[in-house]
Copies of this chain bind each other. A is one copy, B any other.
């Protein structure tokens, strides 16, 4: 059932299509983050209207609520959300490290306490696949470990070694049972880790690709390293991956990050930036991020982005959106989220068009010049952490 077709290539940038049991996704693709079964402040109706082709959900959150048994009983997450298009789930490992209390890595998995009630939990390579079979995601991820940028080299090596061992175990487990609990094929990607050296990344990419996964994720990047390092490490990774599978840069990033990563052969992305920043009052535009809560927009009758065709910019002014955010209206969060998710999805459509037109390099240069002219000084970090 799973397929990946490259329909156009321009330098390292590729345009193509991932096919799953729930239909296709044009790549390069951005996946809005629907953590616990909803993209925050959007309904399933909204996601369809915005043209989202795939949504990412978090195994960690879904494991805690509504829980694995409940998901199995309710027909999985597609059924729960009434979302008929593809879903991707992460392995939960990243959230264990960022959210859970008292986490401990053991050789056969991770033990941790729920951030909600402190209840003891355990993720293993086989266990997180069983959870993802209950969720019924089309694209699954194996349990991995993201070391920190400043971890000692031996800790990073140990993390990579465990990630590799768990990847092999997950691969065999998946091949022995490729169907979800709801009766359709699922696909498992491999995750490349390898720390923050080009050698580490190359070795991990070679090992993970040797296992035979149909697609690859690149984990652990865009954390504390500089963006220059990020791109060197991405290049070192994609150079070692076979052409014929989608490459997914996990948790990344800003619009500029997406444009630069595509130039280095990345096909898929997810990030909370458009949705989280929307709820904090920052929306994305082709001329850079805009603090729409700012008082200077209080009488501004223009749409958020005059060039945008989203449902918000077609009818509402900056003044209205700003008024709603200033007065704490939920309605404001819906509007900013709709706009920014549209911005990201439309950015990917522009990227695909530019690749198909064999014009990616100059299109990207124009986009970045205009977008980054709108960034305040040292904005990069603020944008990521806002």
Contact = CB atoms under 8 A, between A and B. Distances in A.
A136 to B, nearest CB: 14
A66 B323 contact: yes
B82 A315 contact: yes
Contacts of A317: 74, 80, 82
Chain copies in the assembled complex:
2
A319 B39 CA distance: 17
A352 to B, nearest CB: 27
Interface stretch (A190-198, A216-224, A328-336, A341-349): A328-336
A326 B320 CA distance: 30
Contacts of A36: 323, 327, 329
B70 A38 contact: no
A299 B82 contact: no
A323 B57 CA distance: 14
B331 A80 contact: no
Interface string A21-50: 000000000000000111111111100000
B298 A42 contact: no
Contact of A74 (B70, B81, B301, B331): B301
Contacts of A70: 298-299, 319
A42 B73 CA distance: 31
Q: Which 8 A-B pairs have the closest CB atoms?
A: A38-B331, A41-B330, A82-B315, A38-B329, A66-B323, A36-B327, A80-B320, A65-B327
Given A74-B317, A82-B320, 20 more contacts: A36-B323, A36-B327, A36-B329, A37-B324, A37-B327, A38-B324, A40-B329, A40-B330, A41-B330, A41-B334, A42-B331, A43-B334, A65-B327, A66-B298, A74-B301, A80-B317, A80-B319, A80-B323, A81-B320, A82-B315
5 contacts: A38-B324, A42-B331, A44-B316, A66-B326, A70-B319
